[in-house]
A and B are shown apart, each in its own frame.
Chain A
Amino acid sequence: MSIWLVITRKELLDAIRDRRALMALLLFPVIGPFVIYFMFNTIVDIAEEAKDLTLPIVGAEYAPDLVDFLEQSGIKLTPIVNEYETSSEARNSKPYIYPARLLADIREKIENRTYDFVLLIPPDFSIRLGESKTVNLELFHESSRATAQAKMGRVQQTISAWHQETASLRLMARGISPTIARPVSIEKIDVASPQARAQRILGMIPFFIIVAAFVCGMGIAVDATAGERERKSLEPLLVNPIQRTSIVVGKWMAAATFSGLGLLLVMVLNLLALNQVPLEQLGLSFSISATEIIGIVMITLPLAFFATALQLFVGIFAKSFKDAQAYLSVISMLPMAPLFFNIFNTVDRELWMSLVPMLGQHMLLADVVAGKNPPLFDFAVAAVSVVLFSLVFIYGATLVFKRERIIFS
């Protein structure tokens, strides 16, 4: 058996018995798919809720026409009873103003999430309408409540449809064509609805995969470098007649094994999560073929070697677990760089990006997830680049490993 393999086997045995390393391997990959599953379901729920809409309304009795129109548009109305004004005489006296306590009540119920919004119809609705004046409807809402945005949008659309209709009727009653008052009509074609949000979530998958490469192998990388130094087990190890390169490679392969397993686990779990999400309800379809899966594995697996090579190189400078953890948590932030790059630069993938470790993988993965098929050449460039970077780090680690200072302090 090759020496590096002896070392890899020992490090893996050690890691499997190490609860910390094992937790990193098994726990982290679950987080990403869980988040994605949860977010998708929320979006689906929001989309579903907008279809099935109830609108709390005050003063429905003053505007029977509008109420009919809203109900015909499929909006269910929940009348809020004005319990501060019990006598119907007072309510019908003119001019009538809603009691301040009722308004305060509405605000409170929106704040404590009993309602997302409330439509307030003024008591003089029919009178002003009859006099062809403008009626002031009031829509109470909470703009920071993101989940209510879709429903709000629908309420506003329905009201403005009624507004258009009424305006047209008024003009026609005066023998004027409604088009005169409407020189321009805008038809909004919404493409950035739930589908777009879903696409954005799919865009997070590459990030989770790349982070997994860093997180899952870190336990071994730390243990095999700073751990050996802290335990002072490096000196006894090095009195054996073996090449330092074999030691570094052996440790690298052990860490890369964990990192690679973590990667695969994230991918499998993500696929499972996407299978569970009712994507078709968003009008999205996510189908992935076996070749695409092989493609994704080919893009990401070299990252396991890259991430752990970098971690070994940095970890070897650390004298203790604590030091190493501090250094390596900074490194674990690196996968965020391509994510931000992607957020702030909405450019398409270009070939040079494949040369940059992690950025290349991120962009390629994003393309694959979005259903595009990047050319095979770009995959190869990304893989070769990452492997070359890894070898540089491993060579560097071997050089550092040969320093006397590293062994004895």
Chain B
Amino acid sequence: MIEVDGLRKRFKQVRAIDGVSFSARDGAITGLLGHNGAGKSTSLRILYGLLTADSGSALVDGINVMNEPQKAQENIGVMTDAHGLYPRLTAREHIEYFAQLRKLDKSIIDKRTELLIEQLAMEEIADRRAEGYSQGEKMKVCLARSLIHNPQNIIMDEPTNGLDVMTTRSVRTILQTLKDQNKCILLSSHIMQEISALCDEVIVISEGKVLMQGSLDALLTSTGESDLEEAFMSITRASR
């Protein structure tokens, strides 16, 4: 469960987000939809404790990220925008490194690693070094290492960016599985099809402000449009 209230963040003269409030519930996939530079990444980075908000609050399972960032991080699995793999480490080593950083027991690490490798169909690359991985393979490693501690909350910044159809589909399947396990999934995207295919809830964000939050149907009904793209356009246009 993620609750964000009145987040503000300024970088020198640029106001990145200006009072962002939204929530993402357990057992649902929530999508943060907005243009490039709308404030999606900034909001997420505050949520997973890498940026400090100027004001406002962010709660992860009731833990205030500002006060106890590390405790909050324990309950979050994060897939960042940049993959940032180490070219000389294998997929398995990447996953184990993050597991050890999270102080998991050896037996749990082994079990979870095997499970994730199987779930993400990574057998082939598990013991190959990361240099030369395809986008999809890199994505899988990132996903696996962010899920190694079996977090209740999963935050993903542009998860399907640059993936081919096959990999996109397998990501969708994994997200559905996680949703069925009653996890709270929050992802950002600027791709309408992605959001409409995946998300139960949509948050429309533009110029650092949340314009609307609701289910896909609610969004369509309130704008009177037939697809998300039109609805999004009409919402952002109305705000100007």
Chain A residues engaging chain B, CB cutoff 8 angstroms:
1, 3, 6-7, 10, 13-14, 17-18, 228, 231-243, 404, 407-408
Contact = CB atoms under 8 A, between A and B. Distances in A.
Given A13-B93, A232-B83, A404-B50, 9 more contacts: A6-B100, A13-B89, A17-B129, A233-B85, A235-B84, A236-B82, A236-B146, A239-B49, A242-B101
A234 B80 CA distance: 10
Given A10-B97, A404-B50, A404-B52, A241 B88 contact: no
B74 interface: yes
Nearest to B70: A241
B216 interface: no
A229 to B, nearest CB: 10
Given A3-B101, A240-B102, A241-B102, A232 B50 contact: no
B50 A237 contact: no
Contacts of B70: 241-243
B103 interface: yes
A231 B85 CA distance: 7
B84 A241 contact: no
A62 to B, nearest CB: 77
B53 to A, nearest CB: 11
Interface in B56-115: 69-71, 73-74, 76, 78, 80-89, 93, 97-98, 100-103
A241 B71 contact: yes
Given A3-B101, A239-B73, A233 B50 contact: no
B80 A236 contact: yes
A234 B103 contact: no
Contacts of A241: 69-71, 73-74, 102
A228 B89 CA distance: 14
A239 B76 contact: yes
B32 to A, nearest CB: 17
B110 to A, nearest CB: 15
Which of A231, A236, A238, A407 has its CB near the most chain B CB atoms (within 10 A)? A236
B103 A232 contact: no
Contact of B88 (A14, A234, A404): A14
Contacts of A404: 50-52
Nearest to A7: B101
Contacts of B82: 232-233, 235-236
A237 B48 CA distance: 12
Contacts of A236: 78, 80, 82-84, 142, 145-146
A404 B10 CA distance: 12
Nearest to B74: A241
B101 A6 contact: yes
B108 to A, nearest CB: 14
A14 B50 contact: no
6 contacts: A231-B85, A233-B85, A236-B83, A239-B49, A239-B78, A242-B101
Contacts of A238: 50
A239 B88 contact: no
